Each structure stands twice: as structure tokens, then as C-alpha cells.
Structure 1
Amino acid sequence: MDLTKYFSLIEKILLIVLLVATLASIGQIIGNIIAIKEVNLADILLLFIFLEVIGMIKEYYVDSKIAISHPIFIAITALARLIILQRKDYDPEILLYEAGAIFILSVSILALRARKIAFFKPDSDK
């Protein structure tokens, strides 16, 4: 067995470990929701983050590559969750920086989507 097959096997094992850890975390969140009988926005956003992680795991398992948009969506959701969970006595500048980061990440998603439009492709690709 050559080295490439070892790396491929290690990747598959780590993907399974990541999936199990993600599912365990989802189970903990759902268990907590059931225990306290209350669903809050922070829990929902955390479940969306886990859903994106599962999507990344599936995509990498099937295609052996990950679209750059997945981690960007995770970052946007994580920043939104951070803003929601922050105490209100924090410096308002911090909120502006975090909102600016979300804006920059959103623009990057738009730029990634725009490169698929024929107008933005180089002449050799048209």
C-alpha cells in the first residue's frame, strides 16, 4: 500500500471522528433544549453551524474537496451567534467590528458566486 492510500485512510477515519463528534454535540444541544424546555436563538444558530459542518464532511467524503463557501457560512453564523450572546455592556466598537467582519464575509460569498457569471470570466473561459 503506497503512502497516498494511507493518507486517504487517515482522512476517512478523521471524517468519521468529526461526524461522530458533531452528532454528539448536536445530541447535547437537543438534550439541553429538552431538559430546560426552552429553545433560544443561540441554540438554533449553533445547530446551523453543526449542520454546515455535516455538509462539509459530506462534501469532502463524496468529492474529496470542500467549497470555500462552507467555512465562510460557518464563520458568518458563528459571528452572528457571538453578537447575540454578547453582554450589552461591551464597547459598541466591538459590535461594529464584528458586523463589519460579517459584511466582509458576505461580500466574499458574493464575489465567489459572481465568478460563475459569464461577464466576470476571463476571455479564455467564455
Structure 2
Amino acid sequence: MATATIEQALNGLVDLVNQGKPTDAFDTYYHPNLEKTDLDGVTVSGLAENYRVGEELLSKITAVRTFAHRGTLVVGNRSFVVWELDFDHADNGRVNVTEVAIQDWQDGKIIRERYIA
């Protein structure tokens, strides 16, 4: 995949997230065979299961102070997206973190995503 194509897709993904449409971003930019590892180190396989886990997380957010995209870098078929997050979660309390999503692309979609902070 060309760097410009991935950059364009990431712009669309960030735009959807900024509009409060993270599930639309998931539907559009994530591969059916997605493997996603969040900060807890647990890897979830498959788009449907990742969608379920994401919906559960979002349903437990009680307040948002910051949810901001801070930068993007694309190298080959890998992208790095920096997010600054500060929100309250019903189970986990306050979450205040700057994290990097490391994304591998295949067939025009994110097939593997890992988060580090």
C-alpha cells in the first residue's frame, strides 16, 4: 500500500473518531481478520470480537476531558498514531494517557494494531 493511501485513510479514520463515530471508523478502516492488542496486553482476534470489546469500553466512559489526535507517521505498510486521552471509566476510574497505536495495513485496512503508552 502506498504511503499516501495509508495517510489518506488515517485522515478519514481520525476524522470519524473526532466526529464521535468510532464504530464507523472500525467498519471502514479495520480488516475482518484484525488482531488488536490494547494497553492491557490482551490480544483480541477478529473484527466482530474487537467491535464488541470496543463497544463495551465506550459504554463505560462516564466523562471525557481530552480525546485528541496528536500525530501520525507512516513507514511502508505500518502507521503510528498518537492519541492523548483523559476520561473517566466506570470500572477503571480516571484514564489519563498518551498512547501510540502501531498499525499494520493489508488490503487497504488495518489488520494488526498494538497500543503502547
Calculate the TM-score normalised by the size of structure 1. Answer: 0.24
Structure having the higher strand fraction is: 2
Give the number of the structure whose residues are more often helix, by fraction. Answer: 1
Which protein is bigger by CA-based radius of gyration?
A: 1
- Relative contact order, higher structure (CA 8 A, sep 6+): 2
